Amino acid sequence: MNPFDYSRPPDWQAAVNSVATDAQAKFLGGGTNLIDLMKMGVETPDRLVDINRLPLAQVEELPGNTGIRIGALVRNSDLAEHPLITARYPVLSEALLSGASPQLRNLATTGGNLLQRTRCYYFYDPAFPMCNKRNPGSGCGALEGYNRIHAILGQSEQCIATHPSDMCVALAMLDAVVRVQGPAGERAIPIANFHRLPGITPNVDTNLQTNELITAVDLPAIPFATRSHYLKVRDRASYAFALVSVAAALELENGMIKSARIALGGVAHKPWRAAKAEQALAGKKVEAAAFSAAADAELAAAKGYQYNSFKIELAKRAIVQALTTVAALP
């Protein structure tokens, strides 16, 4: 971990200013990912701007029943058990509680979770010489390496890393909006545009500018989100990243699917909104055949590698299982 200056600005304006004037500065939230990566030597900021005491830890209703605003510093554990979340967006609560451990969830923040970096072995350990994300132009070590946990959708020859978050998969399914403050003022980034696919710039994870601070995440009002579920498939029973995960919600009417929302985790460089599957389900009867067809449609474009091809079938099955579970909810 390289030496850095530490500061704790009194308000978000000062925080943004500190980071805006130093290209190597970083905001410090819960620290569970950033400090980890600094110990590994992957992140090397020269200044840490501690935002933990900024007043951004509220969960509140937006006016006129338009949704809920989650402060960027709401801890994962508090968010998961917040009554507004468990009542209206159970999928988010499930996703949060399936991630990490109780201790980590007590530290990790909503904003930090959005910025979690990949668990690709070749990225995480600088001993590996090749990683376009860590060291642009060095190549992708995973492409012909041990790529069991890697992407099957939306990847590029430059990078086949996956996004590791559970929370973000639920947010993607819920059409969350990320609110940020920067030197130029406030802006809102729909979650679909927040994370990026790797393309030729896998070193850039998100469309957040380095001098912008996440202040909140808004969840729109989605009445049928009460009928939602997060399903996570992993190698051990707990405390493990997803091989594949699914966040799903169904809007049902007279045994028919009026609309469906599905997002996948563990399969792509960003939380993967399964638009093709959603399309395939709209207007269909609630039945296993429709679920399978939707899963097939979404994974038709998937591509596996030496060690991760199983994820294609696993993702299909996980979609079917998640939809089956949601359809059976009261």
Partner 1 sequence: MSEEPESLPPPLPRGVLLDGLLLRGDPETRRQFLKKVAGTGVAVTLGPHLIALASTPTADGATPHGATKMVDVQLKINGRDYRLRLDPRTSLLDLLREHLQLTGSKKGCDHGQCGACTVLLNGRRVNSCLTLAVMHDGEEITTIEGLAQGDQLHPMQAAFIEHDGFQCGYCTPGQICSAVACLQEGHAKDDAQIREWMSGNLCRCGAYPNIVDAIKQARDKMGGTA
Partner 2 sequence: MANSNILGPARSRVDGPLKVTGYAKYAVEFEIPKCAYAWPVESNIAKGKITAIDIKAAQTSPGVLAVLTHQNASKMADAKGLFEEFAEAHGEDMSQGIRNEQRAPLADDEIHYAGQYVALVVAQTIEQARHAASLVRVSYAPELPILTMEDASKAKKPKKKQDETIQLRKGNVEPALANQNIIRLHETYSTPTETHNPIETSGTIAAWEGDDKLTVWDSTQFVKGVQSILARSYGLKIENVRVICPFVGGAFGCKGALWPHVLLATMAARATRVPVKFHLPRKAMFTGTGHRTPTSQTISLAATSNGKLQAIKHVTGTLTSPVGEFVEVCGARSTGVMYASETIRVEETVYPVNVATPTFMRAPGECPGVYALECALDELSYLLQMDPVELRLMNHAANHPIRDVPFSAKHLKEAYQLGAEKFGWSKRNPQTGQMRDGNLLVGWGMATATYPAHKMSAAAKAILHVDGRATVQCATHDLGTGAYTAFTQISSEQLGVPFEQVTFELGKSDYPFGPVAGGSNSTGTVGTAIHEVAQLLHRALAELAVKDARSPLHGSRPNDIAMVAPGRIALRKNPVTSDSFTDILQRAGRDSITVESELKDPEENEKLAFQSWGAHFCEVKIDSLLPRVQVTRVVSVMNCGRIVNAKTARSQIIGGVVMGIGMALTEETAYDPKTGLPAIANLADYHVPTNADVPPIEVYFVGEPDYAFNPIGARGMGEIGITGIAAAVANAVYHATGKRVRDLPITPDKLI
Partner whose footprint covers residue 224, from partner 1, partner 2, none (CB < 5 to 8 Å by kind): none
Binding mask 70-109 for partner 2 (x = CB under 8 A): ----------------------------------------
From the list partner 1, partner 2, none, which binds 310 (C-beta under 5 to 8 Å, kind-based)? partner 2
Total residues at the site for partner 2 (CB under 8 A)? 36
Among 83, 223, 236, 253, binds partner 2 (CB under 8 A): 236
Residue with tokens 């980890």: 36
Shortest distance in whole angstroms from residue 157 CB to partner 1: 30
Collapsed DSSP state (helix, strand, coil) of residue 260: strand
Residue 148 contact among partner 2, partner 1, none, beta carbon within 5 to 8 Å by kind = partner 2
Residue among 194 and 305 whose Cβ is closer to partner 2:
305
In the bound state with partner 2, the residue whose beta carbon lies nearer, of 167 and 191, is 167
In terms of CB distance, is 303 or 317 closer to partner 2?
317
6 binds, among partner 2, partner 1, none (CB under 5 to 8 A by kind): partner 1
Which of the stretches 88-96, 97-105, 176-184, 286-294 binds partner 1 when contact is defined by CB under 8 A? 97-105
Q: Count CB-CB contacts under 10 A for residue 35.
A: 15
What Cα–Cα distance (Å) separates residue 243 from each residue in 45, 162, 231?
A: 31, 10, 11
Best CA proximity match to 113, nearest among 53, 178, 69 = 178
Rg (CA), the chain: 19
* Binding at 48: pick from partner 1, partner 2, none (beta carbon under 5-8 Å per type): partner 1
Q: Amino acid letter at 141?
A: G
β-pairing, 177-182 vs 185-190, is antiparallel
Binding-site member from 102, 126, 183, 283 for partner 1 (CB under 8 A): 102
Which span (18-26, 58-66, 139-147, 292-300) binds partner 2, by CB under 8 A?
139-147
Q: How far is the CB of 152 from partner 2 (least distance, A)?
A: 12
* Token pair of 290 as six digits: 């429709």
- CB-nearer residue toward partner 2: 60 or 235: 235
Q: Indicate the pairing of strand 228-233 with strand 244-253.
A: antiparallel
Distance CA 297, CA 34 (A): 37
Nearest to 280 by CA among 268, 291, 270: 291
What's the Cα-to-Cα distance from 96 to each of 7, 21, 54, 123, 246, rounded to whole Å? 29, 34, 22, 24, 13
* Nearest approach, Cβ of residue 170 and partner 2 (Å): 19
How many other C-beta atoms lie within 10 A of the C-beta of residue 16? 22
Residue 237 lies near partner 1 (rule: CB under 8 A): yes
92: number of CA atoms within 13 Å, CB side? Answer: 32
The smaller minimum CB distance to partner 1, of residues 51 and 294, is found at 51
DSSP for 61-76, please give it: EEGGGTEEEEETT-BH
Indicate the SS3 state at residue 123.
helix
Both tokens assigned to 219: 């969840």
Judge whether 274 and 319 are in contact, CB under 8 Å: yes
Q: Does 152 bind partner 1 (CB under 8 A)?
A: no
Where on the chain is the footprint of partner 2 (CB under 8 A)?
1-3, 39, 41, 119, 121-122, 125, 127-129, 141, 144-146, 148, 231, 233-241, 243, 310-311, 313-314, 317-318, 320-321
Where on the chain is the footprint of partner 1 (CB under 8 A)?
1, 3-6, 8, 28, 30-32, 35-36, 39-40, 48, 50, 52, 77, 100-104, 106-107, 237-239
